[in-house]
Amino acid sequence: MKLILGMGITGLSVARFFTNNNEIFRIADSRKEPSLLKTFQKEHLLDNCYMGEWSKSILEDIDEVIISPGIAQSENIVQWIREKKIKLLSDIELFGRHSNAPIIGITGSNGKSTVTQLLGEMAIASRLNAVICGNIGSPVMESISDTADLYIVELSSYQLDYTSELDLFAGVITNISPDHLDRYPNYEAYIASKLSIYPYCENVIINLDEPLQSDMAGDSYFAIEKNNSNCSFLARKAGSSYEVFYKDKCLVSSNELLVVGKHNIENLLAALTLGYQFGLPIDEMIKVAKNFKGLPHRLEFITSINQVDFYNDSKSTNAVSTITAVNSLLEKYSQVVLILGGIAKQENYSELIELINAKVQTVVLIGESSKVFSEQLSVPTLKIARSMNEAVSLSKSLAKGGAIVLSPACASFDMFDDFNDRGDQFKHHVIEGS
């Protein structure tokens, strides 16, 4: 019998798949009332169900366990499964067994969602039935289609941790920086988790700008400002902009793109390299890139009010991504107001603090990290807001042209449901108060 661990979105997708394929299963969750319980009940998915504190009895008569990525490896149930030598797998591995089209896998600390979406739109524009799924949106088990030509899947480190068999046409790691260290014993373990994607890949795509990958052997490479003959696609600085090349041919300038920042040039290079490896036409990919607006909550342009541009970067939940956002805006604006804060992660914020102190004029702090950050920041203007409404109002009153950006570098759960809620509230108050 199969066991599904976790009654979240992943568990629900697996339960539906098993039910539709007449697979007998048990489902379990350590919570007595999981948030999706009513959905499971309505769809009659709880014939063999266990809720509450983990018990070894859950594993009786089980030969395979499909585990939700939110369940940490340190939990007792995972240890018991491994002691009993029961097969443990992710929904990604299960998906790989049943998919009927090539799969491209994309992971990384930052940028993976953008690359996944951009590549998906490039494939669709190239008249392929491309399915965009995984960590970015639809669970993979609900994305299986008999008519799919290609699956483009965003993979998290948590999903990779529970994967041991997977066939990918190609895969890329966008970058690696400290993140999710509450789930890993050390940074080295997190790095190993990300790098574990490559053994599954028929075509390994390497970002030569990522120090942890620069010495690795791959099948195709991309880079910015590196004179490497192995690179199919590369970018070079041209004044205040970047030019993207295929070999020696200039394809597009960053001035022609709707997205901003060096990191988005890196994202474009990753998508182009993956797409070219699969056979997508370069001209079609560039056409899509020029019209690509980016993803919600990822340095998303909102509006311009009184000669001030507003950006929503709520998805930046760690220091590195906020550093990227601030640097990207400073390439375009001389004045930036930064809304920062939330639940600080277990990471080193010193580089971010140093950047803000050196180059940002005004900071508005929100959330439980406000006191800690206020003691480290020495910007000309520093304010603390008790709500998003107050943060937006303060920012508007303090801005003197340039840009206002919500880029918190922290988790959102002290004040909001999640980063989507945080970003939506920011957008609401920006537009409603205009």
143 Cβ contact list (under 8 Å, min separation 6): 95, 131, 133, 151
Residues 6+ apart with CB under 8 A from 137: none
- DSSP per-residue codes, 259-327: S-SHHHHHHHHHHHHHHHHHT--HHHHHHHHHH----TTSSEEEEEETTEEEEE-TT--SHHHHHHHHH
* Whole-angstrom distance, CA of residue 344 vs CA of residue 368: 8
How many CA atoms lie within 13 Å of 342's alpha carbon, on the beta-carbon side? 27
- Give the tokens for residue 28: 């379990």
State the catalytic residues: 112, 135, 180
Compute the Cα dihedral for 126, 174, 351, 234 and give only its sign. Answer: negative
- Partners of 262 in beta bridges: none
Helices and strands: H and E segment counts in the chain: 14, 20
Alpha helices in 110-166 (DSSP H): 112-125, 157-161
Helix axes 319-330, 262-278, angle to 10 degrees: 110
* Helix axes 282-291 and 112-125, enclosed angle (nearest 10): 120
Q: Are 385 and 363 in contact (CB under 8 A)?
A: no
